[in-house]
């Protein structure tokens, strides 16, 4: 309950895991760059390293979108109007899915050429195709934060970041894959973090369990 106790202490305790979570979401790309450079060479390092700003844009945009969802969910949670809260969660699922698909299609038309660009296209093409799992993690994490839990999403992110490193090495060394292996590792790791969030919500937050009626389309909810 974040309505009792020292406001400053509560805000700081809630903020630090969110701050660290933002850092760890960038860790995927950093780890991919380091491992690719170590095992695949300078060209792979340059290719993945050059995508840092694109990764930051994509994850930052989806993170900002999901934070917007969390504001509305937290408002209805605080008002103890749980039916409306679950309805906004369901509408957020629609929006997250829609925006992830639009971004995947839109970024799919970006052209790359010559030198390191084929590797960039190979890497980012897979990342874009997996945006739906990125959106899933950010949305589920936002729902947990909306109910006052900012630590669990961080723990799941740390686990998935470690898995990403292991998969990077496995796909490159044992799978004989190039930069595509790093991209697949990132998407799979992000998918694992989303699944962990979902399992945690199912087991620990029955208040977030959605029913069929929660998914009834509401244009007014989307507009908010």
pLDDT digits (tens, 9 = 90+) for 151-181: 999 999 999 999 999 999 999 988 889 899 9
Total Cβ atoms within 10 A of residue 127:
26
Instruction: State pTM to two decimals.
Output: 0.87
Question: Which pLDDT score, from 0 to 100, does residue 58 have?
Answer: 85
In this predicted model, what pLDDT tens digit does every residue of 7-25 receive, in sequence order? 788 888 888 888 888 788 8
Q: Do 126 and 182 touch, CB atoms closer than 8 A?
A: no
**Residue 219 reports pLDDT greater than 80:** no
Query: By C-alpha distance, which of 59, 203, 71, 60 is closest to 143?
Result: 71
């Amino acid at each position: 309950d974040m309505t009792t106790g020292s406001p400053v202490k509560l805000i700081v305790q809630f903020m630090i895991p969110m701050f660290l979570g933002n850092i760890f979401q960038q860790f995927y790309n950093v780890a991919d760059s380091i491992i690719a450079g170590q095992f695949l060479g300078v060209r792979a390092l340059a290719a993945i390293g050059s995508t840092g700003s694109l990764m930051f844009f994509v994850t930052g945009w989806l993170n900002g979108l999901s934070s917007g969802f969390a504001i509305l969910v937290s408002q209805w949670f605080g008002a103890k109007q749980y039916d409306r809260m679950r309805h906004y969660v369901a509408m957020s699922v629609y929006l997250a899915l829609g925006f992830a698909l639009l971004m995947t299609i839109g970024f799919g038309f970006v052209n790359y050429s010559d030198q390191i660009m084929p590797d960039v296209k190979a890497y980012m093409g897979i990342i874009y195709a997996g945006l739906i799992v990125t959106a899933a993690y950010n949305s589920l994490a936002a729902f947990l934060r909306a109910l006052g839990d900012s630590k669990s999403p961080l723990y799941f992110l740390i686990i998935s970041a470690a898995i990403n490193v292991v998969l990077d090495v496995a796909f490159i060394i044992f799978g004989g894959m190039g930069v595509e292996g790093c991209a697949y590792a990132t998407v799979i790791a992000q998918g694992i973090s989303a699944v962990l969030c979902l399992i945690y919500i199912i087991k620990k937050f029955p208040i977030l369990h959605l029913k069929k009626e929660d998914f009834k389309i509401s244009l007014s909810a989307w507009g908010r």
